[in-house]
Every structure is written in structure tokens, then in C-alpha cells.
Structure 1
Amino acid sequence: MDLLFIFLSYVLILHSVMAIASHEEHLKALKTCVSHILAVLAFYVPMIGVSTVHRFGKHVPHYIHVLLSNIYLFVPPVLNPLIYSAKTKEIRRAIVRMFHRIKMRL
């Protein structure tokens, strides 16, 4: 039920964002919405995986249950600051420079 309400709320948010007249404010609001959606997905995708394996994976090896549980516990808190900090221009520039350096070495 909560996924339905989250989806409906984002539809309403996007409808409101599309009504903004200024192009710069429009883009800023969309960037914020995208980061929120990514944070929600970072939480729900591992949860759905754990729930599915728990429900249907009776013959799956035990280490798969443990692995998915650890992913569910550790990945969302690690991704959350990365998702929100990627909005910062300085951090985005540093990430791009880092990838350019790696690309140059190859």
C-alpha cells in the first residue's frame, strides 16, 4: 500500500513541478525529485529482494538469505548520502574529475 501512496504523491509532486514557470526552478525541483526517488528505490529494491527470497526461496542456500539481508541493512544507508551529495556541484565536479583520471589511466 505504501508504494501506491508514494507513487501517487510523486505524480502530484511532478504535476506541481510542471506548473512552475521558471525553467531554472523547474530543473532544480526535478533534480530534487529525482534524488528523492533514488533514495526511495535504494530502500525498497533491497527490501523487495529480501522479502521475495524469504517468501519463495525455501530451497535457496542459507548464504543467499544472509547476503540479501546484509544488502538490505547496509546498502541504503551507504547510498543515501551519496545520492543526496551528488546534487552538490563541487562533489559532482570531483566525481567527474575522478572518472576522467581513471579513464586517462586506461
Structure 2
Amino acid sequence: MASPIPTWWVIYREPNPAEMHVEAVEPAPTDADAQDARCAEFVAAGQHAYVITAPDADTASDIALRVWAEELVASPARLAAANAHNAAHHRTN
């Protein structure tokens, strides 16, 4: 019998509209109270999390980065904010 694929929390921060930094990948809590407590910690720390089912933490992190990028380009408002940030902070000559 095959083992179930684990669920991971990919914890990240958005330092600006154009960037996402993965800060940790940890196994998802199995208890509802533990999940609620951990979510409150994310909010207090200004963090976010994706819940990803993947064979390992590295794969979960890669999937979360891809999802974040897809969400960025799918949202005109987020993409405009990211483009404005980049234009203001990464000028080319």
C-alpha cells in the first residue's frame, strides 16, 4: 500500500508587491486547534501560507512559488502594483 502524500504549509512573506520569500516549509498541523493557532501566528508575523500536497518540502516550496507567480499575473491589480514597484525601484539606463 502506498503512503499518502503529505500536506505542507509553505510559509512566506511578501516584502513588496513584486517579491515572495519562502521563510519555512513545515508539515501541516493535523489538529484543527493547532491549525487555528498557527494561522494566528502567521497573521501576527505578517506572513502568509499556502497549503500544498507534495512528496517533500522542496517540491512543496517550488509549487508555492509557481502558484504565487500565476496568481500575480492573473490579477491585473497585483500585476500593476508589481510593475509600478519595479519601475520605481529598478530603473534601467
TM-score by length of 2: 0.31
Question: Which structure dedicates a bigger proportion of its chain to strand?
Answer: 2
Question: Which structure dedicates a bigger proportion of its chain to helix?
Answer: 1
Q: Which structure has the larger Rg over C-alpha atoms?
A: 1
